[in-house]
Structure 1
Amino acid sequence: MMYDQIQAAAAHIKEAYKGEMPKIAVILGSGLAGMADALEDAAIFPYGDLPGFPVTTVIGHTGKLYIGKLEGVPLICMQGRVHGYEGHDQQMLGFPTRVLAALGVETLFITNASGSLDVDAGPGSLMMITDHINFSGQNPLVGVNDDRLGPRFPDMGDAWNKKLRKKLAKVAEKLDIKLHKGVYIGVKGPNFETPAEIRAFRTWGAGCVGMSTIPEVLTANHAGMKVVGVASITNYGAGMVDEVLNHVDTLEFAAKAAVNLERLIRAFVKEISA
């Protein structure tokens, strides 16, 4: 049934959009939705209009899929995402990514808003994700495997594609954008982490923490896509500095980081499509 729903959503988009279907997609996290408005000649699909598509309920996640061109390159932008803490079934957390795969997307650029566990990467900075730790207790690949979607036991040894990371680092250097590097640890939320949890995560080698992204990278690799990602740093982890964490600040600092992130994505998309 999941396979049929995925195909129905993809068919709905293909029927409505007559342009060249992109091979690259970007998922825009909290406070980063504005980049989708930069797409030229974009077709817009609200998630609620797509068959079977889960709908987001979080401020800062508009819930629309854009198809158009950025710097002349065909591109899909997902303006917002769904999260496990919203109550969605864990398999449904991977549904939007599976639809991207059904549309023919081969490269997925994931962005998110994250808390920093690295004292050198403060609010407003960018961190390239080099690997991840799934501490969310959720996995969209749980359940009976459909071989039409991917293998039963997908390898995650290169979940965050090494070649794409190298290209992204070079693009950032050319643009004179400071791009920190770190391991992303995903938690379920919706509460921010405790100081004790942050101390534990730092000892595990994590560089940033957030409440998303893990379902998407797992599903994308399961589907055979190549993944690269950047976290917009919105705050330090609890206990690292004397401040009260809140979602308003998350959106504010994500918006500041979005200026450089959009420059980075624009140049990177042109680079890999050349």
Structure 2
Amino acid sequence: MRHWQEELVQAVARWRELGRPVPDVALVAGSGLSVDLGVPIAGPEPLADWLPFPVLSVPGHRHEVELLELPGGRRVLYFRGRIHGYQGYTPADVVFPIRFAALLGTKTLVMTNAAGGVRPEWPAGTLAAVSDQLNLTGGNPLSGDPPAAWGARFPDMLDAFDPGLRELAGRRARDLGFELQEGVYAGLNGPSYETPAEVRMLRILGADLVGMSTVHEIVAARHLGMKCLVLSLVANPGAGVTDAPLHHEEVLEAGRAAASRVKSLLAALLGDPALD
């Protein structure tokens, strides 16, 4: 698997040549969950301007990157949209933005995603902090021979989702008047939605949420020493949890309906000194 080492070095060098500062936090927005935050320092720019391969479009993903400054001075590298393995990308392709952020010197990663709900008691609109993950994609961004300087060959994934950041997110959600759930996220390849049998299997395995992103990005981020927080929006019940068929438009609509809560929570988190 090609890890794009030379291209990452070039992207980092270009960022520095432009005189842009090191971001404090990288933020990745999931399907329908792009929100406006802070004052732009640079961008928005097409994500493709910073990647060594073409970006294929997915509804609900703007595929832009910008550098923002929040009140208080925190700088956020904001990826509006992500790329997915089901588009034909390798795991190393998928995590290029994460590695780019980490190699710039960014220490904290915050991501959002839209997920299917495996737990019947979590209706659409439930917001949860991911506490652990099941990588069921059959792939890993560390396969092959990533540079030794990036991190341990066999990185530890205990507390991959930082407990302190999860606790902070829960406090800030309560301050805003709602409860932030916690659960395990299962990552599958897609693009087909899960079958009812697969959702039953995931429930037995301990999953609370299921989606087509996130797991590779977390592996790459932890490999490079980043602290990680993932906020997952239950956009629809998993197949078989109800009798309703699943549609991507439903996912996007759930994101739009929850945008105010997501934006309020992200603003509270990103403005909190304890995030560092």
Q: How does the TM-score come out when normalised to structure 1?
A: 0.94
Cα displacement string for residues 176-217 of structure 1 (whole angstroms, at most 9, x for unaligned residues) = 122111100000000000000000101111110000001110
- Secondary structure of 1:220's partner? helix
- Secondary structure of 2:184's partner? strand
Separation in structure 2 between the aligned mates of residue 58 and residue 2 of structure 1, nearest angstrom: 23
> Which letter maps to 2:68?
G
Show the counterpart of 1:3.
5
- Percent of paired sites with the same residue: 37
> Do residues 214 (structure 1) and 231 (structure 2) align?
no
Q: Is the 8 A contact 2:37 2:68 kept in 1?
A: no
Show the counterpart of 2:61.
61
> Do residues 29 (structure 1) and 19 (structure 2) align?
no
> Do residues 98 (structure 1) and 99 (structure 2) align?
yes
- Secondary structure of 1:231's partner? strand
> Do residues 180 (structure 1) and 181 (structure 2) align?
yes
CA RMSD of aligned residues (A): 1.6
Q: Is the 8 A contact 1:232 1:258 kept in 2?
A: no
Q: Is the 8 A contact 2:188 2:213 kept in 1?
A: yes
Separation in structure 1 between the aligned mates of residue 269 and residue 38 of structure 2, nearest angstrom: 15
> Which letter maps to 2:81?
G
Q: Please show how residues 1-274 of structure 1 align to structure 2 within 5 Å.
A: 2-18=4-20, 20-33=21-34, 35=35, 37-44=36-43, 45-52=45-52, 55-72=55-72, 73-271=74-272, 272=274
Separation in structure 1 between the aligned mates of residue 153 and residue 228 of structure 2, nearest angstrom: 19
Separation in structure 1 between the aligned mates of residue 183 and residue 52 of structure 2, nearest angstrom: 34
CA 17–252 in structure 1, closer or farther in 2 if over 3 Å, else same = farther
Q: How does the TM-score come out when normalised to structure 2?
A: 0.93
Separation in structure 1 between the aligned mates of residue 49 and residue 131 of structure 2, nearest angstrom: 34
**Which 4+ runs in 1 deviate beyond 6 A?**
none
- Secondary structure of 1:251's partner? helix
Count of residue correspondences? 271
Q: Is the 8 A contact 1:233 1:257 kept in 2?
A: no
Q: CA deviation at 1:17?
A: 5.0
Gaps of 5+ in 1: none
Q: CA deviation at 1:122?
A: 1.1
Q: Is the 8 A contact 1:56 1:83 kept in 2?
A: no
> Which letter maps to 1:62?
R
Separation in structure 2 between the aligned mates of residue 147 and residue 27 of structure 1, nearest angstrom: 26
> Which letter maps to 2:260?
V
Separation in structure 2 between the aligned mates of residue 232 and residue 69 of structure 1, nearest angstrom: 25
Q: Is the 8 A contact 1:145 1:151 kept in 2?
A: no
Separation in structure 1 between the aligned mates of residue 250 and residue 158 of structure 2, nearest angstrom: 34
Gaps of 5+ in 2: none
- Secondary structure of 1:228's partner? strand
After TM superposition, the structure 1 stretch with the greater mean CA deviation from structure 2, 39-48 or 99-108, is 39-48
Cα displacement string for residues 54-80 of structure 1 (whole angstroms, at most 9, x for unaligned residues) = 524211111111101133421111001
Separation in structure 2 between the aligned mates of residue 16 and residue 260 of structure 1, nearest angstrom: 35
Separation in structure 1 between the aligned mates of residue 53 and residue 39 of structure 2, nearest angstrom: 24
After TM superposition, the structure 1 stretch with the greater mean CA deviation from structure 2, 242-251 or 90-99, is 90-99
> Which letter maps to 2:70?
L
After TM superposition, the structure 1 stretch with the greater mean CA deviation from structure 2, 264-273 or 239-248, is 264-273
Separation in structure 2 between the aligned mates of residue 25 and residue 261 of structure 1, nearest angstrom: 16
Q: CA deviation at 1:13?
A: 2.5
